[in-house]
Amino acid sequence: MTARIAIVTTRDLPVPDADEDLLLPHLPEAALVAWEDPGVDWAAFDVAILRSTWNYHDRLDEFLAWARATAEVTRLVNPVATVEWNTDKRYLADLAAAGIPVVPTTFVSPGERVPADAVVALGGHLVVKPSVGAGSNGAKLFDGDAAGAGAHVAELHRQGKVAMLQPYLAEVDTAGETALIYLGGRFSHAARKAAILSRDMSWETGLYADEKVAATVATPAERALADRVIAALPGLGHPDLAYVRVDLLPTAEGPVLLELELTEPSLFLALGEGAPQRAAEAFRALLT
């Protein structure tokens, strides 16, 4: 069968991702191709689905230029407008304005000072990371180290990156982070991720921090918030997405949104019964 669907990865990934190993046997119409491979004829595919393009944050301008060019000759999923929005975590401000409870976040662009109302946070328990990043790249945890936190902000600015400051929500150390996966607009399954930043990280692939992930059942509150996020997306200009991953953190007042993954999320297909088949069905439906 001639491949009609491109499952888009990167040449920097040494082996196929586990999701792809599970997906491809159910999707014979698809082939695994790297976004930065100059020999790929993207017009030969009916659909190009972004999956494990996990080096995009180091080459964002190049990646977005490729995405725009590819979208001119085939259907790119998720769409370019969504990718442009979602690859910079300043999208959290849009979701907060739409009424979604998010982790409190302060963004500081190069040339800006940390706002006065956020300076005190530098001496607290907080995470400092770039607004463009994946797999915990560039994220550091500080606790009572204002000098260290300020130095990391300065380093991110030196690299031309927007820094973001977020309080560390300690409940994650015991309850973990919940990822809710939606395929073709429908809830599929959920996964529980252990805290990463509060323990030593390992980087076996070099592209992302290794995670301890297990299947879980989302609580009613988690499912309700994730459904609210899904319902808000069309109003923000992002309808009809092939996949969405909603990452939530627990607080005493209920779950809050940590990240909304619309570009290249792991879908943890091994952790949902029938999830590889559901993903294949959702991606095959894009052909029509």
**pLDDT (0 to 100) of residue 8:** 98
Q: Which of 167, 185, 218 is the last residue of a domain?
A: 167
Q: How far apart are the C-alpha atoms of 203 and 154, rounded to whole Å?
A: 24
- What token pair was written down for 105? 């976040």
Which residue from 229, 235, 133, 121 is spatially nearest to 179, judged by alpha carbons?
Answer: 229
Residue 283 lies in a domain: no
The CA distance from 123 to 142, in Å, is 8
Low-confidence ranges of the chain (pLDDT < 70): 1, 135, 196-211
* One domain for residues 126 and 96: no
Terminal alpha carbon distance of the chain: 17
Q: Strands, DSSP E only, in the chain?
A: 5-9, 30-34, 47-50, 75-77, 106-108, 125-130, 140-143, 163-167, 177-183, 186-193, 213-216, 243-249, 256-261
Sequence-separated (6 or more) residues with CB below 8 Å from residue 287? 4, 5, 29, 46, 47
Domain of 256, CATH number, reads 3.30.470.20
Specify the number of domains making up the chain: 3
Let me know whether 184 and 256 are in one domain.
yes
Cβ count within 10 A of residue 142: 23
Query: In this structure, are 243 and 210 located in the same domain?
Result: yes
Interatomic CA distance for residues 150 and 120, integer angstroms: 11
Flag whether 237 is in a domain.
Answer: yes
3-state SS class at 159:
coil
Strands 177-183 vs 243-249: parallel, antiparallel or unpaired: antiparallel
Domain that holds residue 175: 91-100+171-273
8 A C-beta contact, residue 114 and residue 149: no
Q: Are residues 21 and 65 in the same domain?
A: yes
Q: Which CA distances in Å does 189 have to 49, 128, 209, 270? A: 20, 30, 22, 10
- Based on the fold, state whether residues 96 and 238 are members of the same structural domain: yes
Is 156 within 8 Å of 57 (Cβ atoms)?
A: no
What's 151's domain CATH number?
Answer: 3.30.1490
Among the three residues 32, 54, 86, which one is the final residue of a domain in this structure? Answer: 86
Decide: helix, strand or coil at residue 146.
helix
Residue 78: cis peptide before it, omega within 30 degrees of 0: yes
Residue 19 lies in a domain: yes
In a shared domain, residues 182 and 214: yes
The string of pLDDT tens digits covering residues 263-282 is: 999 999 999 999 999 999 99
